[in-house]
A and B are shown apart, each in its own frame.
Chain A
Amino acid sequence: MKTLTRSALIACCLAWISGLALALPLQADTPKVTAQLSSGLVRLGTGVRVNLHAQDVEEARVVDVPEVAGLKLSGISRPSHERRESWVNGRRSVSTSIRWVVVYDPVEEGDYVIPPIELEVDGQRVKTRELSFTVKRDLQGEELGYLEWIDLPEHIYEGESFRLRLRFGWDVRTNVNHANLMLPWWGELPNAIEAPDPGDKIANPVDVYLNNRQRVRVLDLGEQKVGGTTMRLLELDRRYIATRSGTIELPKSFLEFGMVEQRMFSERKNTNHIGVAEVAIEVRTLPTEGQPFDFSGGVGRFVVGQSVDRRSVDVGESIKFGVEWTGSGNIEFFEAPDPGRLEAFDGFRVYGRTDEFLGDRRRVVYDLVPERSDVEEIPALPLWVFDTQTENYTSIDTEPIAIRVRALPGAVGLSGEVATGPVLDIGDVQTEPVGPDGPAGPSDTTLFAVPVFALGGWLLLRTRVRRAGDPDAPAAKARRRALRRLRRDLGRSTTASDQSLAVRRFLGARSGESPEAWEGRPVIDWFEEHVGIDGDVQRRDTAQRTAALLRDIDASIWAGSNAALERNRIEELARELTGGLL
Chain B
Amino acid sequence: MRMLRHCLALCALFVAFASAAPQAELDRSALDAYRAEDFASASAWWLDALEAATGVDEQGEPLASAGERARLMANLGNCAARLDDWAGAAGWFEASLRLRPRDDDTREKLNFARGEAGWPPLDRGDLSSTTSRVLGAFTADEARWLALLGLLPLIVALAGEALRGGRAWRQASIASAVLWLIACGPCVHAAWNEDSDPMLVISPNGAAARPEPRESAERLERLPSGARFERLDELPGWTKLSGPEGRAVWVPSRDVFALER
B105→A471 contact, CB < 8 A: no
Interface of A is mostly: loop
Provide the residues of chain B in CB contact with A29, threshold 8 Å: none
Q: Could you say which of A429, A438, A457 contacts B78, with CB atoms under 8 Å apart?
A: A429
What residues of chain A lie closer than 8 Å to B140, measured between beta carbons? 441
Task: Say yes or no: is B187 at the interface (Cβ < 8 Å to chain A).
Answer: yes
Collect the chain B residues with CB atoms within 8 Å of residue A428's CB: 78
- Known A426-B108, A462-B161; 20 more pairs at CB < 8 Å: A426-B113, A427-B108, A427-B109, A430-B71, A430-B75, A430-B105, A434-B67, A434-B71, A438-B142, A439-B141, A440-B141, A441-B145, A442-B144, A447-B147, A447-B148, A450-B151, A461-B163, A462-B162, A471-B165, A471-B166
- Chain B: interface secondary structure? helix
Question: What 3 A-B pairs are tightest by C-beta distance, nearest first?
Answer: A441-B144, A472-B165, A434-B67
Interface residues in B64-98 by Cβ distance below 8 A to A read 65-68, 70-71, 74-75, 77-78, 81, 89
Q: Does any Cβ of A come within 8 Å of B227's Cβ?
A: no
Does B27 sit at the interface, judged by CB under 8 A? Answer: yes
Let me know if A458 and B161 touch, CB within 8 A.
yes
A425 touches B112 (CB 8 A): yes
Find out whether the CB atom of B31 lies under 8 angstroms from the CB atom of A431: yes
**B165 contacts A429, CB within 8 Å?**
no
Instruction: Name B187's contact: one of A430, A434, A447 (CB within 8 Å).
Output: A447
Interface centre among B31, B105, B165 (most CB of A within 10 A): B165
The distance in angstroms between the C-alpha atoms of A426 and B108, with both chains bound, is 8
Check A465 against B155 for contact (C-beta < 8 Å): no
Residue B164 is within 8 A (CB to CB) of chain A in the complex: yes
Complex alpha-carbon distance, A462 and B77, angstroms: 57
Kindly state whether residue B143 has any CB partner on chain A within 8 Å: yes
Decide if B24 is an interface residue (CB 8 Å cutoff).
yes
For B34, B140, B161, the residue with the greatest tally of chain A CB atoms inside 10 Å of its CB is: B161
Interface members, chain B 104-129 (any A CB < 8 Å): 105, 108-109, 112-113
A454 touches B163 (CB 8 A): no
- Check if A411 is an interface residue, CB within 8 A of chain B: no
A457 to B161, CA, bound (A): 12
CA distance in complex: A433, B25 (Å):
12
Which residues of chain A are near B81, meaning CB under 8 Å? 426
Contacts of B145 in A (CB 8 A): 438-439, 441-442
Give CA–CA (A427, B81) in the complex, Å: 11
> With A and B bound together, what is the CA distance between A365 and B187 in angstroms?
63
Say yes or no: B187 contacts A437, CB within 8 Å.
Answer: no
Among candidates A434, A442, A451, residue contacting B68 with C-beta atoms closer than 8 Å: A434
- In A389-419, which residues have CB < 8 Å from any B CB? none
**Closest residue to B173 on the A side, CB-wise?**
A458
A9 within 8 A of B: no
Q: Taking the complex as formed, is B158 at the interface, i.e. its CB lies under 8 A from any CB of chain A?
A: yes
Q: Mark B16-54, 1 if CB is under 8 A from A, else 0.
A: 000000001001000100100000000000000000000
- 15 chain-A/chain-B pairs, Cβ below 8 angstroms: A426-B77, A426-B81, A426-B113, A430-B75, A430-B105, A431-B31, A433-B68, A434-B71, A437-B62, A438-B142, A440-B141, A442-B145, A447-B147, A462-B162, A471-B163
